[in-house]
Structure formats: structure tokens, C-alpha cells
Amino acid sequence: MSEIRDIIQSGQAVLGIELGSTRIKAVLIDDCNEPIAAGGFDWENQLADGVWIYDLEDVKTGLQASIKDLKKNVADTYGVPLKALRGIGISAMMHGYLVLDQNQEQLAPFRTWRNTITEAEARELTGLFNYTIPQRWSIAQLYYSVKRQEGHVRRICHMTTLAGYVHWLLTGEWVLGIGDASGMFPIDIKTKTYYDEMVLKFDQLIEQRAYPWKLKEILPEVLTAGEEAGKLTRPGALLLDPEGDLLPGVPLCPPEGDGGTGMIATNTIGRRVGNVSAGTSIFSIIVLEKELSRVYEDFDSMMTPGGECCVQVHCNNGTTDLNAWVGLFKEFARCRDDSIDDKELFHLLYNEALKGEEDCGGILAYNYLSGEHTTGFQQGRPLLVRTPECRFTLANVMRAHLYSALVTLKMGIDKLVSEENIAIDIMVGHGGLFKTEYVGQKILADAVKVPVSVMETAGEGGAFGIALLAAYMVHKSAGETLETFLADRVFAGKKVNIVAPDQAAAAGFEAFAGRYRAGFPIERAAVDNLE
């Protein structure tokens, strides 16, 4: 305790902040890269005129609330104020559309990764570049605005991600980490920046619009892990901490997306290793031994924060509907005047799911709160469907919802393995699904038929990951790679729990997946008939 107190007082602690889809989290780590304090703020996206957005004023409010919560945690635990820091890192949800004018004023609502409105534009750009451009990528969102002749496009001076925007608020620098940048526009693995040829093709594509900018002029500069990306300004420090305790001048690492920070937090930047982030959305990132043999609309390429090529299977819908069902049972408990906290309730219901039948007793569930590009749905309607002879038990219902949260991811990984012969030695799980010990881990292992590990720090997520990237920036020795830093200085000796797939349960998941595919017309009918 006294050692940690000294580290905080001497300004040697490192801060990581991640703006996730439902929570803004701040994590403080010590000089041994261990989490020592945390703070957070809950928030939600909004559906406005059919588009999923976040209000940028909520970004500022949430940042201040999470830092205030962190400061209170530090003061209550260690009895000292949080003032000086050794380094800071900012992470946030990848992709989306966030554009500003020359006065840094927002030009259009911040459209998030969740939107599935750019199908035509994404397909056209994929053909133009011969490179997969998913709907959620910033370039697809920009082209959508161009084709719709939205008036603000002419005034664009900066296009960035949420992490890039917050980083600019704190430092005044328009930069991005290579991982986050690779979700805006394709990155050339040789040059570690945007593909010049593709940039030129896009400029030529929209040339007739006669905009006063070229694409490269509005994209942020690309940086890799270990580089310094600016320093905390006085206005930036006051933005984070209006009370004025936090001191300016702190170096910041390149801002990164939640995909990259998830890889760092789980030490999955090596080859033949993948990670699964399971929260509001769910995605898997696997570092490749070689680039994919062809273009796939189902998958997209991205970069690790260190600049290695990897493939991502991204699904828009993760645990949101599952959490809603847990919330329903919490309401039932309140009706009985029973007091039960969320952790205990998740534990009870998740473990009840393991008592269910391997194929969920014939029950079918769709977790489509929004559209799901991986299965061709522009909109979604959450559904629970059963035939009269299904075994309608609590265990089967909960198991079906857990399966539903993972089944689209399973489909993508199965396709990668079968068509590209990708070898995966182990998957590492992190995010909300894995906070309940063993259950999510086991069901994922059965789904993808690969051993799944979960680290003790899995619950810290991307805020921990970006803190580690900031620590690498300030602590790395000459020639020390990011992979070596993580292996030797962060994860050496860490406890890891591994669960292997079970043959019978894997067969049950396959039966559920077959029923899930066959039921797509049911989901389509719900979308078409339920406004």
C-alpha cells in the first residue's frame, strides 16, 4: 500500500481511458503494469432518425465523471490526491463517422459502428479498392454522405474516430494509432500508413464533386505503438478534471481503437492466437501468418497497434439482448422484494444455462437489437422462437441467449478456418460475457472448437490495454518490441484459466447454428412487419 501511494504521489502511475459502447472507464496502473485504481461512467447510444449516434457533449461529461470517480477511488484507497501522471492513453470504439470543420466544430451527428446503412457504398468501395470495406468503416460512411450530397461534406477539415477526437481535445494533435486508423481506411503493411493508390482512387471517384479537400488532407496522421503522440495541454487537463488537480504536460501514446487495446489487454498480438471481445458488439481478431488469399465481405483486415496484419470477424450484436433478459429477471426479483445484485444474478442465470440441453431444447433466439451485416440484416428485431414441443425451461432459454450472442461470430470463424486454413492455437476471451467465471468461456470454446483462456485482468478490458500502450511508450528500453514488453514485463507469471471444447456440447451448438440459419426468414418477417 505504501509503495503504491509513493508511485501515485511521485507521478509514476499511468492512466488509460476507454470510451466503450456502454461504459467509459479509467484505469490507473503502477510501474509494474498492475491495475491499482479505476473509475467509470455508464452511457448509452441513441437511435435518432434511424441512425445510432452518441452526443459529443456526453463524451465530455462522461470523461469528467470517470476521472472524478477514479480520483475518489485513489483518495479512498490510498489517502492521496491524483495529480501528476507518467503517461496517458485514450481508446474508444473503432470506426464510425465523426467530421469537423476548420474551427473544430462538429458538422454531422457522430454515426457509430452500429449503423448498417452503407451497404451499397461499402460494396462499391470494396470493388474499387479490391480490399474489403465494411459498412462501419469511416470511408464507407464518408462516401455515403458524398452520394447523398449532404451539405456539410464540403466543409470537412478533419475526419477521425472517437478516440482520435478525444485525443485532440486533450493534446490538440490530429493523430491516430495504426490499429484505429486501419478501421477508417486501408493501411499498407509496408509503409504503415494509408494506401496511396487507394487514396488516389477515392479522390478520382469523387473528383466531379469539386470539394476543396483531398482525402489525405482530412485523415489523421498514423502512428505506431511506442511513439509519443503529444502532451496533455492545460485546457485538456481541465477538460478531464475541472477541479484542476490534474497537471498538464503528460505525454500521450497514439490513441487506439477497442480492437487493438483488447489485443493488448489479452496479450494476443502473436501469430496463431486470437482474442474475442464480447460486449455490446462481439468480435474476434486473429493475427495472420500470411495475408488472406482473396477479398471477403464477411471479414476485414486491420492492424495490431504495433503494425502487424490481422483479420477481424465483427458482429454488431453481442450481449445487449442477453443483458435485457437478465434485467427482466431482476425486475421479477424486485416484485418479490428480493434484494440481489447484478453480479449474483448473472452468476445464477449463466450457471443455470449450463444445466440446459446442448441444443437448447429446440429453442431459437435472435439478439438483433440493430442490423447485422454478417448475416445480411440492415435492421434487427430481438426474437425468442419455439415450437410447441420445445423444452421451455429457464436453463434452455438462458443457454439459447448465450448461444445467440456468439453464433454469428462462430459462423465467421468457421468460414475463415475452412476457406483460408487459418490455424488458431487458442482464443483469449475478454469483456462483459467473461466476467461470470467459466460459463461464457466454456460456451465460446464449444462454439469455435478451440481452447479458450481468460486472464485475471479480463474484466479491465481496453482501458487496461491502452494504459499498457502508454506504459510501453514511457518505459520501453532501446530496441524492446511491444510483444517482448508484454510477454516479459506484463504477463509473465500471470494466472490463466483455460477451458477446452466439449465434443457433445460442440455438436449441440452446431445443431443450434443450423436451426439459426434456417430461421432467417422468421427474423426477416419480424423486421418487415414490426415497425
Of all residues in the chain, what percent carry a pLDDT higher than 70?
A: 99
Q: What is the pLDDT of residue 459?
A: 54
Q: Based on C-alpha coordinates, what's the Rg of the chain?
A: 23
Which pLDDT belongs to residue 458? 53
- Beta-carbon neighbour count of residue 222 at 10 Å? 25
pLDDT of residue 472: 98
pLDDT, position 279 = 83
* Distance from C-alpha of 261 to C-alpha of 90, rounded to nearest angstrom: 10
Indicate the fold that domain 266-316+411-498 takes in CATH.
Nucleotidyltransferase; domain 5 (3.30.420)
> What gap in Å lies between CA 381 and CA 363, rounded to an integer?
17
Sheet holding 496-499, edge to edge: 300-303, 309-315, 282-287, 273-278, 426-430, 452-455, 496-499
Q: Measure the CA–CA gap between 275 and 314, rounded to whole angstroms.
A: 12
Phi/psi class of residue 100: alpha, beta or left (left: φ > 0; alpha: ψ in -120 to 50)? beta
pTM for the whole thing?
Answer: 0.83
Surface-to-core class of residue 483, CB atoms within 10 Å of its CB (0-12 exposed, 13-18 middle, 19+ buried):
middle
Give the mean pLDDT per block of 10 residues along the chain (531 residues). 95 97 94 95 90 93 97 97 98 96 96 89 96 94 97 98 98 98 95 97 97 98 98 98 97 95 89 86 88 85 91 91 95 89 93 97 96 89 96 97 97 93 90 89 96 75 93 95 94 87 96 97 96 85
The domain ranges of the chain are 266-316+411-498, 320-404+503-526
- Distance in angstroms (rounded) separating the CA atoms of residues 51 and 358: 37
Q: What spatial distance separates the first Cα and last Cα of the chain, rounded to whole Å?
A: 56
